Chains A and B, each alone.
Chain A
């Protein structure tokens, strides 16, 4: 699409502390565009949670972000283990995160529920052993 701004970020799975760089960069650009503050906040939170998930469970991946005047579309793609039971993963408090991650305050089982809460549309394509694609749309209200 010619009228969209397309952004691409690689998410490193090696360094946990770098998670949030992509969502931070997108937030900065949305502010420069004078985007609706509430939409910026929802994009930042949903994308950050998804980035953390990629780092914890899938050894990183990439994000593609398309910014339109009325919405932001985000694809987060990884080659991780896939999600065996999506319905279960969507339940608040359900988590398969390892203990070392939980000790940092992550892995509370709120990642996917929060992503759903803050985005307007959410779609998960997942194949065991192949990876996961998470599609999100946040609309300007």
Chain B
């Protein structure tokens, strides 16, 4: 059993060993060996890009099912705001929330409510000027993991506040205990998730020992039953309690706009996020207080577990926000303290470094440069590594050999053939 939990998994039966995922993975966490893709667990950030690109649907995201809620005496659904963008002609989020109750949940609590609290807490912390600027949002778990394994100097710029899901789960759990008198373990809190990164975050959190969420159900998994339920409502309960600020978190720029200042930047799409992080690391981005980063294009509406095109969902979200009050949720006196991270974000130096002994690492790198110089530099992926440089690295790590390169192999065979021909 690996020490890393991942939502993103490979369905080996469907994998045909092509190079689509290999080339797309932003952390070079995939190799193809013996005709099947393999995810390098320690490098995977669960961004879901491989799920998006795989033409054979061989990559999947593990998430909870509606069945699982039956194991609890009382359940609360905490939907991501992206869920509200998945339905045509929706004029109130109350319809979705009532629909969730029809599916068997006893109560609902929108994550967008907690998002408003996180926004307020962030504004407060920026005003108090205690954090290292620019502050990087901690809401997207794929981005937080990326920083943890690739950007050592930026770990302390990450906002030390729990993401809205965790804040929502904790409030929902506390309220359910107060309301029912049940014990915490009898209460099931389930997140309705747009992406696998958030499933991973619940099972293996970055900043706390244990999440208050019991599981995450994919939007796409719950969608057919939910639309059915929504179509047959006799009464719509006034359950929603989010302002336009919280709902806006569903799309890129929503969190940044909730800072109510103009010194912010919002980037979305994993490649763009990496570019911003590289420039931040080199101090090329100046004069910005807050940075919102979303691994998915368009923000959470772009999550790979949604059903709707992200831009259609974005337009619907804009429409839903139109007549809402700005914010309906505000911090209690000591609430901010309870939202702070319990564990610090430490750089995981082991993931990409060649060896913990620098002399050994240098020796390996010298070999790597030599091997790389002899490779064709086509980055074709036929060897099973995403680039020639990655193959060179795998070779010095003892995980691949030079003849995995088909050009090297061809040259070797030609060589053998020529020698044989001369001897005959």
A interface with B by C-beta (< 8 Å): 3-5, 7, 20, 23-24, 27, 29, 31-35, 37-38, 40-41, 44-45, 48, 67, 69
Contacts and interface: CB of A to CB of B under 8 A. Distances in A.
Nearest to A118: B283
Given A34-B353, A37-B153, A69-B358, A29 B282 contact: no
A5 B282 contact: no
Contact of A32 (B153, B353, B359): B353
A33 B365 contact: yes
Given A41-B153, A69-B358, A32 B365 contact: yes
A67 B362 contact: yes
B347 A69 contact: no
B359 A34 contact: no
Contacts of A29: 365
B365 A37 contact: no
Contacts of B358: 33-35, 69
Contact of B282 (A4, A33, A45): A45
Interface residues of B, dominant DSSP: helix
Contacts, number: 58
B355 A34 contact: yes
Contact of A31 (B353, B355, B369, B393): B353
B283 to A, nearest CB: 6
B349 A3 contact: no
B352 to A, nearest CB: 6
Contacts of A40: 152-153
Contacts of A45: 282-283
B353 A5 contact: no
Q: Report the interface size class on chain B.
A: 20 to 34
A5 B153 contact: no
14 contacts: A3-B362, A23-B282, A27-B281, A31-B152, A32-B393, A33-B353, A37-B153, A38-B153, A40-B152, A41-B282, A45-B282, A45-B283, A67-B362, A69-B358
User: Which 6 pairs show the lowest CB-CB distances between chains A and B?
Assistant: A34-B353, A37-B152, A33-B361, A69-B358, A44-B282, A41-B153
B66 interface: no
B394 interface: no
B281 A34 contact: no
A3 B354 contact: no
Contacts of A33: 353-354, 358, 361-362, 365
Interface string B340-373: 0000000101001111101101100110010000
B281 A41 contact: yes
B278 interface: yes
B282 A34 contact: no
Interface string B387-398: 000000100000
A5 B278 contact: no
Point out which of B282, B284, B353, B361 has the most chain A C-beta atoms below 10 A from its C-beta: B282
Interface in B384-413: 393
